[in-house]
Amino acid sequence: MNEMLVKARTFMFTHARLLERRLFEVHFEGTSPVFVGRVVRAYQNDDGGLGHALEPDIRCAESQPLLTSFGLGALEEAGYRDVEFAISTCNYLRSVSDENGFVSFFTDSAYQSPMASHWINSTISPGINPTAEICGLLHYQGVENEWLTLATETCLKVLFDKPPLEAHSLLCAVKLAEYIPDKVTAENLLDVIATALPRARFFKLDVSSEAYGLTPLHFASKPDSICRPLFTQSQIDNHLEALTKQQLPDGGWPISWEAPGPASELEWRGRITLEAICRLYDYGVI
């Protein structure tokens, strides 16, 4: 096993939480994705949503759309489909959506628990982020649901009429383009993303920049990603090289923001380390 991967494994099994350890096992050790599904279900509340700090910067137990998106993303990453579970999340999402089907990152109940400072100081309103990503992940699950239909239509209208010039929102749109059943619409949406991305805030194409941002590897995490054609080989290679240099002596990768506390920081580092080692592996660097 590659030395970089060995060090990352040691970090994961020393510091990461169960969800990321199970995902690591699925990626590298042949573990069944069903075990990821069982972990994600443990975060579900009676209302169908996911809570309990599943997104490590939001420490509340109550269900939140952002945490629900995080859990659905873990299922997609593991390649695990659970339609019954996914439909139950739709019922929750409908209950917290606006009249157009949009959801916010979280509801007011989240503010009663610790959270990262960048969330406290942010303006939270229903929108493409995280609604488009949630819709894409539910389409991956094969869900048919009235709320999902409405939310998908609303996302597409906004994305085609006035695409957001913000990288996180565009990354959510990528997930929708990847899994929406209508492939013609998906191709048109990808064209919109390709046009908007170079001008988007928090998109970091310059590998030498130390500013926070999403890089080409967020949009093309694998060679077969739908966004891979948007970047040159040298752009991908430069960011892969930079990624290899960011591994710390403990085997993990750092985060670039202030987490609410030590537990949250390690949980995030487990997530970021998993993403880093998977990208390096999928591109053949390790």
In the structure, what pLDDT confidence band is assigned to residue 211 with cuts at 50, 70 and 90? confident
Q: What share of the chain is helix, strand, coil (3-state, %, to 5)?
A: 60, 5, 40
Say yes or no to pLDDT of 285 above 80: yes
What is the per-residue pLDDT for 210?
A: 82
Choose between 125 and 226: higher pLDDT: 226
Q: Measured between alpha carbons, how far is 115 from 261 in angstroms, rounded to an integer?
A: 9
What is the per-residue pLDDT for 234?
A: 97
Say yes or no to pLDDT of 29 above 80: yes
What is the per-residue pLDDT for 109?
A: 93
- Nearest Cα neighbor of 163 from 149, 150, 176 is 176
In the structure, what pLDDT confidence band is assigned to residue 47 with cuts at 50, 70 and 90? very high
What is the per-residue pLDDT for 212?
A: 87
> Span 228-246, mean pLDDT?
97
Say yes or no to pLDDT of 253 above 80: yes
Report CA-CA distances (Å) from 44 to 30, 52, 64, 87, 198: 26, 8, 10, 13, 37
What is the per-residue pLDDT for 12?
A: 98
Q: Report the share of the chain in percent with pLDDT over 90.
A: 95
- Residue 197, amino acid: L
What is the per-residue pLDDT for 121?
A: 75
Say yes or no to pLDDT of 274 above 70: yes
Say yes or no to pLDDT of 71 above 80: yes
For 42-145, where are the alpha helices, taking DSSP H only?
Answer: 65-78, 83-95, 117-120, 128-140
In the structure, what pLDDT confidence band is assigned to residue 1 with cuts at 50, 70 and 90? low
Give the chain's end-to-end CA distance (angstroms, integer). 9
- Residue pair 101/150 in contact (Cβ under 8 Å)? The answer is yes
134-181: per-residue pLDDT in tens?
A: 999 999 999 999 999 999 999 999 999 999 999 999 999 999 999 999
What is the per-residue pLDDT for 207?
A: 92
Name beta bridge partners: 103.
Answer: 127
> Span 35-43, mean pLDDT?
98
Say yes or no to pLDDT of 123 above 90: no
Report CA-CA distances (Å) from 57 to 60, 115, 118, 276: 9, 5, 9, 19
187-198: per-residue pLDDT in tens?
A: 999 999 999 999
